[in-house]
Amino acid sequence: MDDIHRGIPIPTIKRLPSYLRLLKQYREEGQEMVSATALAEELGLKPIQVRKDISCTGIEGKPKVGFVIHRLIDAIIHTLGWDNATDAILIGAGHLGSALARYEGFDTYGLKIVAAFDIDEVKWGAKLGEVPVYSISDIKEYLNANHVNIGVLAVPANHAQEVAELLVDCGILAIWNFAPKDLKLPERVVVQRTDLATSFAVLSAKVKRKIADEDLASEVDDW
């Protein structure tokens, strides 16, 4: 990775996909330039924050004009590493695993699930979309032959730690964990957990707050 891409703050990395989605929308509408102010207003951010985030991509805007949209799109994709497809294996060919394997949007992010593994022999030899399913006992042989570094974990919580340790023993360097379980792994292994329960808890709390605010506003109007 280029030196300019090293040390980018995690909050900035989390915001870059939002910029990318909006920029692609503008491009489809025929727009060629965009200002940091316009992006900030659309995303509920401050213009100075947007400029700081974009500076991490190495792109510079023109005063009073803004940024060239197609160049900014390319720069963000490169900064995120989405311009080079990264192969990954999927562990767990159940409902969630099947949905992940069939999700075409991963190609946009530079991620390609190339194989799935499961303990259920009924699923061996089948395909999830275009992704072949193998026995979990074949993982080590597959990784030795294909040199994949990323594992996507979509197994029940009670099997997550055991399967994660198997992946690490087989040479996996990064795990995207969809299982509702915190993993204890060596520091050299990169782990990103996607916690659906936590996301729903935040959503639920925001809904309750919204309802409470509307009820309060209604009471004020009644006065």
pLDDT in tens, 4-47: 445 789 899 989 999 999 999 999 999 999 999 999 999 999 99
Q: Rounded to whole angstroms, how far apart are CA atoms 151 and 60? A: 36
Locate 50 and state its tokens.
């947007």
Average pLDDT, the chain: 89
Q: Verify that 61 and 98 share a domain, yes or no.
A: no
pLDDT in tens, 178-197: 998 999 999 999 999 987 77
Q: Verify that 45 and 92 share a domain, yes or no.
A: no
Give me the pLDDT at residue 3, please.
40
Give me the pLDDT at residue 106, please.
87
Q: Verify that 72 and 139 share a domain, yes or no.
A: no
Q: Please tell me the least confidently modeled range out of 101-105, 178-182, 201-205.
A: 201-205
User: Does the pLDDT of residue 222 top 80, yes or no?
Assistant: no
Q: Rounded to whole angstroms, how far apart are CA atoms 91 and 160? A: 10
DSSP state of 204: H
Q: Verify that 126 and 74 share a domain, yes or no.
A: no
Q: Nearest CA to 168 among 193, 147, 149, 195?
A: 149
More confident residue, 193 or 216: 193
Query: Region 135-157: what's the mean pLDDT?
Result: 93
Residue 137 lies in a domain: yes
Q: Which domain holds residue 71?
A: 3-80
DSSP string of 113-153? Answer: EEEEEES-GGGTT-EETTEEEEEGGGHHHHHHHH---EEEE
Residue 218 lies in a domain: no
Q: Verify that 61 and 159 share a domain, yes or no.
A: no
Considering its fold, how many domains does the chain have in total? 2
Alpha-carbon Rg for the chain, nearest whole angstrom, is 22
- Determine the residue type at 33: M
Find the CATH number of the domain harbouring 146: 3.40.50.720
Percent of the chain predicted with pLDDT > 70: 92
Q: Rounded to whole angstroms, how far apart are CA atoms 188 and 168? A: 10
Q: Nearest CA to 168 among 154, 153, 186?
A: 186
Give me the pLDDT at residue 84, please.
66
More confident residue, 221 or 76: 76
pLDDT in tens, 114-136: 999 999 999 999 999 999 999 99
Task: Give CA separation, 173 vs 20, 143, 152, 169, 204, in Å.
Answer: 27, 11, 11, 10, 34
Please state the φ and ψ torsions of residue 114, each to the nearest 5 degrees.
-100, -20
Confidence of residue 218 (pLDDT cuts 50, 70, 90): low
